[in-house]
Chain A
Amino acid sequence: MGNDALSRRNVLGYFGMAAAVAMTASCGTANAGKSADGTVTLEFAQWWEPELPKGSLRTLMDTFEAKNPGIKVKLLSGPYASTKEQVIAGAAAGTMSDVVGLDGAWINDFSKQGSLADLSALMKESKYDQSQLASQVKIDGTTLMIPAVNFVYPMFTNDDLLAKAGVSKPPSTRSEFTAAAVAISKVDSNVKGWVLPLSQEAPNGIQNDVMSWVWASGGSMLKDGKPDLTNDAVHSAVNFVQDLWDKKVVSPGALTMKEQDKVEEFTNARVGMMIDSLAHIKLIRENNPKLKFSISAVPAVDGFTGKRGIPYAAWGIGIADNSPNKAEAWKLVDFLMSEETNAKLSSLSNSFPGNTKAVPDFVDSDALFKKAFEIYKGGYPANEFVGLPVAEQLMRSFDEELQKTLSGQQNVDKLLANAQATWMKSF
């Protein structure tokens, strides 16, 4: 080997070593988000951007940056599940983004981890008017999350299928619902009255499609903040679901069905009724423009006259406790919760605003949303999973017990007793 070749080999070897050292060194580089000219760059991790019209969240951030010179916002966007994993890992490693999109179901666990900043203190410090917020998620009296927008889950009914089944108006009680579901299931062998997604991959069917029956009749699955699954309200709702199952009016494939499958079944007119998010109205209209459907409150037990709880899911917002730029992060939260921006965000996402003064533009322009807004105002948002520890696991364990019951392996009493015992271990 010539000297040149040897020399080239040596150079390559040193280059490789230097590159490797540089690579490992860069792993530990800390970034406080502040540049030399004093500009603060906030990281905002969320799953909202992919679910909003393209570029719309960036446009809102541009407006924020224009109003707040010296603050830039970097959007870290991903699907819901990966955002959750990213937030958990970031919290453990101390690299959580300054501002994070949150689901109420995660809050208790993040609270234990100590990864979220005390928003109560930040609001007090900036003399923020808290009365304009529709709700706040608190753990031990401390606000950790503010719901930016709320997606309510009313009952959707297929007008044509109901008419064919001889049902003149959407059911408002459980008996009417059962009768309508039975009648719809007789219209065609490929059509069922109701759809119930119970996939264990995303077990939110327990929250939206099962517990919604409890809340719609003013019931609760908790007592003094602890599980109370064996009470009459839960027992009656689960019995009702079991009865619909036994009458064979539930769409087949329920035990591994996901929320998107539920929407697809309804969109393709294979089910007459479903409980679903308002956010899907646009999708249903796009995929089946001919489908005629209505929105109503979730039916309650016969004779119920009280206020009905309407299930909801929220896009919440919080600030990382490890953020070195909490004051700037609060400015972003304040901006997103302001009357004007919050109305825009809720219009873009087809949801209801977290600011009580904000009015999304679709309320006046769309009859279905107008109706939904009336239902929303007439009842109260109900989601008892918000703030519970390991909320998703609670849904999953209930789901597993419900699946055993629907498969005939146990009765409702055993289901509720087992679920109660499992839930108690997490409290």
Chain B
Amino acid sequence: MKSTLKDPEPLLETQWPADPVKPRKAGWGGLKRRLAPYGFVSPTVILMFVLMLVPIVMVIGYSFMNNVIMTKHPKFVGLDNYVTILTDSVFHTALANTLAFTFASVAAHIVLGLLFAMLLNSPLLGTRFKALFRAVYVLPWLFTVAIIAVLWRLLLDPNGVINFLLMNAGIIDSKIEWLSSPGTALFAVTFINIWAGYPFYMVSILAGLQGIPKDLYEAATVDGANNFQRFLHVTLPQLKPIIISMAMLDLIWTSQQFALIWMTTGGGPINVTEMLSTYTYKLAFSQYQFSLASAAAVVILLLSMILAFFYIRHQKARD
């Protein structure tokens, strides 16, 4: 059968009015336009290249040499440094301490941050009280690590205020060497880190709480939900994205904590507060084993990248 349908007319190309100006040639002007965006991003790109990529690549390179910096002509030793690090019992101790310190700190940060944020968001408190508590609760966040370390060294000194108060209250009957006793040192530094870090959560969660629509709570109340059920089924789900993001960032930051540990215990007594960061520092600046330190740093980088991967994936899912 012969088709009766007409062949479709070819699609018309866009008809432009006759341009009196000749088409722009790809000359200096075009080149300038193409280069302009690169000009804008070049400072950042070069800074990131010089300050991030180059050092990272150098450290990775160092980790495969016998001993850089202290040796004028270091030799390639393959994975030897990684084998030494991964089979070192002190590294295992440092890894276990870092995990305990990090997870305990992050868990306590979440709980305390949430608790204080809810307190500050409570309609039961007046504006003045809220302002006062907000200032008091955020104080630990305003101190630098050096101040925090000195402050808590004094407070936790065997002759310090904490022991004095506990003894007067009858809770303990002899002075406890909080930072010097192998039995309490890890607990003490974790406690200091919790104290120093919870305000970050508190401020962020408070902002999240203030953004939860009231009608959600009203609807839950109409459905017969009590306070705990409203917290469980309205507040927590609404805060979940904030809490997960912050917990992941906190895991990365806390696992790399160095200054606080170094200034309070130096990784001791014995090695009960040795962390991956202090272990790496000692390898570099006490033993001058820069290649071993580089291998340890690369291991830390890989562990951090696992956390960073989950953080980025979570952020993408949110977007």
Q: Please list the residues of chain A having a beta carbon within 8 angstroms of any beta carbon in chain B.
A: 6, 9-10, 12-17, 19-21, 23-24, 27, 84-85, 88-89, 91-92, 109, 112-114, 190, 198-202, 252-257, 270, 390, 392-393, 396, 399-400, 403-404, 407, 409
Contacts and interface: CB of A to CB of B under 8 A. Distances in A.
> Which are the 8 A-B pairs with shortest beta-carbon distances?
A13-B39, A201-B266, A255-B269, A252-B158, A200-B268, A200-B266, A92-B69, A17-B39
Contact of A270 (B159, B181, B185, B268): B159
B46 A393 contact: no
Contacts, number: 125
B265 interface: yes
Contact of B70 (A84, A113, A393, A399): A113
Contact of B37 (A13, A113, A114, A400): A13
Interface of B: 32-33, 35-40, 42-43, 45-47, 50, 68-72, 157-159, 175, 177, 179-182, 185, 262-271, 282, 285-288
A216 B271 CA distance: 30
Contacts of B45: 20
Given A12-B39, A88-B288, A253 B32 contact: no
B39 A256 contact: no
B39 A14 contact: yes
Given A400-B271, A407-B182, A13 B262 contact: no
B157 A253 contact: yes
Contact of A253 (B35, B68, B180, B182): B180
Given A17-B39, A252-B175, A85 B270 contact: no
Given A13-B40, A88-B69, A254-B180, A404 B270 contact: yes
20 contacts: A13-B35, A13-B39, A16-B39, A17-B39, A17-B42, A20-B42, A23-B46, A24-B46, A24-B50, A88-B69, A198-B269, A201-B267, A253-B157, A253-B158, A255-B268, A255-B270, A256-B180, A256-B185, A256-B266, A396-B286
Contacts of B47: 20
A91 B288 CA distance: 13
A28 B191 CA distance: 45
Contacts of A200: 265-269
B43 A19 contact: yes
A9 B32 CA distance: 11
B286 A256 contact: no
Q: Is the interface of A mostly helix, strand, loop or mixed?
A: helix
B179 A256 contact: yes
A394 to B, nearest CB: 10
Contacts of B70: 92, 109, 112-113
Given A13-B35, A407-B270, A255 B40 contact: no
Contacts of A112: 70-71
B162 to A, nearest CB: 12
Contacts of A253: 157-158, 177, 179-180
A10 B180 contact: no
B180 A109 contact: no
Nearest to B262: A201
A256 B268 contact: yes
Contact of A190 (B37, B50, B68, B159): B159
Nearest to B283: A393
Most buried by A among B42, B47, B159, B288: B288
A19 B43 CA distance: 7
A88 to B, nearest CB: 7
Contacts of A254: 180
Contact of A109 (B32, B282, B288): B288
A12 B32 CA distance: 12
Contacts of A84: 285
A9 B36 contact: yes
Contacts of A407: 182, 269-270
A152 to B, nearest CB: 25
